[in-house]
Amino acid sequence: MRLFFIMKFAFLNRAIRKYMLFVHNHIFYRSVEWEGKENIPTDGSGIIVAANHQNAICGPFLTQFMYGTRQINVFAMGKAFSIPVLGSLMRWFGVMPAYRMRTDGVENVSRNGEAFNIAAEKLLNGETVVIYPEATNQVRRWLGEFSLGYLKLAFGAAEKGGFEKEIKIVPAAEHFNDYFRWQGRALLRFGEPVALSPYYELYREKPRQACREVNNIVRERVHELMLDVRDDENYEAIDRILQKDRQNNERSMLENLKAEQARLAEIENMQADDRRVLFERALNGEFDEKRHVTPWYVLMKVLLFPLFLISMVPNGLVLLLPEPLVRKIGRLGEKFRMFASGIRYVVSGFIGIPIVYGVTFILECVFVSWWFALVHLLLLPWLLVFGVRYIKDF
């Protein structure tokens, strides 16, 4: 009987993962790209993926779904685990709590020991652990300072295994063209891994120095993989200059990112006076995208408007369901605005679509016909994509 329930819940876990992966890759995002998969070791080493943290909830999902339905182990904010149902679900999906003094209070920091021990065992078993060394989500496209906690975990696991197990750190970088809305584009890049075994001897003698040396390498590799705008004072102007490359849907996200990196390097190498003039032009809107609306474009939108109205029944409810929570969280401050897309994905994808589509299917079976209900059910996700793109076009 116990084996039956274990197999039943394992099947349910995989089924939910497949569903959420489908919604993530094909409905919520316009496109999802992963680059550098060959850098992820397949030799049985314990792996820590150390990534920048650009988009709160959506970052971990982007990493998780690179592995398909295979479970990996992601650290998340410890406070979320105090919510009974949510905490249980997160543990079920392999998410582990990370308690930080700033968000969870000094009294909870000591609780990290349990999660770190579990993570260490997983590393020694050759599993993957995902962690965000910045210890917070950023609100802009830049790289924060790294806490050394992920390396204390890595070296601690190696020490627990008698320094016989290879542990590797894989640098990774998230990149999104739209932090907040449906049908954005997402990219996750993996860099060359850093093996810790060459540092085992140094760690035995000088653990903090070993952690600092490895951290410098990992952080630099993450920086190379991402768009890191270090000019805080002129961030808005620089971001407006780079926006055109970021929103180019005719190229891959990787090509867009490399174009942004090249343009940023040009800006950083300009003379101070030239940069000042450039930033003034940007803030005056000179680099903002200007759409030329033709009569044919207007005619097309008018002709497609009835289809848009059809697409919103009942998809409008799916889109509106998370908005009260998005607004409530957004009022807490800029950093909390970064939870917007994650809330939309989880609430609409995990709750809204199953309930709204299920109720619609049942009502149409009763009042119309089963075959119409089935065809409509199969079309609803793609009508949702059409409707969202129609809205974003304005």
- What are the tens digits of pLDDT across the range 23-53? 999 999 999 999 999 999 888 899 999 999 9
* Closest to 191 in 3D by CA, of 164, 218, 165, 159: 218
77 by DSSP, 3-state: which? Answer: strand
How many angstroms separate the first and last alpha carbons of the chain?
56
A 10 A CB-CB count for 325 gives 15
Spatial contact of 277 and 319, defined as CB atoms under 8 Å apart: no
* Closest to 388 in 3D by CA, of 354, 353, 358: 353
Query: Dmax over Cα atoms in the chain, in whole Å?
Result: 75
Spatial contact of 60 and 182, defined as CB atoms under 8 Å apart: no
Separation between Cα atoms, residue 121 and residue 161, nearest integer Å: 9
pLDDT of residue 85: 54
Least confident of 105-119, 178-192, 194-208, 225-239: 105-119
Separation between Cα atoms, residue 52 and residue 59, nearest integer Å: 9
Rg (CA), the chain: 23
H or E stretch at 79: none
Which residues, in sequence order, are bridge partners of residue 360?
A: none
Length of the chain: 394
pLDDT of residue 5: 43
The residue type found at 68 is G
Task: Tokens 């449906």: give the residue.
Answer: 182
71 by DSSP, 3-state: which? Answer: coil
Least confident of 14-23, 82-91, 181-190: 82-91
Encoding tokens for residue 81?
């685990």
For range 354-382, the mean pLDDT:
96
Separation between Cα atoms, residue 71 and residue 88, nearest integer Å: 16
pLDDT of residue 389: 94
Spatial contact of 175 and 187, defined as CB atoms under 8 Å apart: yes
Q: What is the mean pLDDT of the chain?
A: 87
- Across 164-247, where does the E strand assignment appear? 167-176, 184-190, 194-195
Is the pLDDT at 81 greater than 90, yes or no?
A: no
Q: Could you tell me the sign of the dihedral formed by the alpha carbons of 180, 183, 184, 186, in that order?
A: positive
Q: Could you tell me the sign of the dihedral formed by the alpha carbons of 231, 233, 235, 241, in that order?
A: negative
Share of the chain above pLDDT 90, in %: 55
Spatial contact of 58 and 182, defined as CB atoms under 8 Å apart: no
pLDDT of residue 11: 76
Task: Give 329's pLDDT tier (boundaries 50, 70, 90).
Answer: confident
Spatial contact of 206 and 54, defined as CB atoms under 8 Å apart: no
pLDDT of residue 4: 44
pLDDT of residue 115: 74
Separation between Cα atoms, residue 115 and residue 156, nearest integer Å: 13
Share of the chain above pLDDT 70, in %: 88
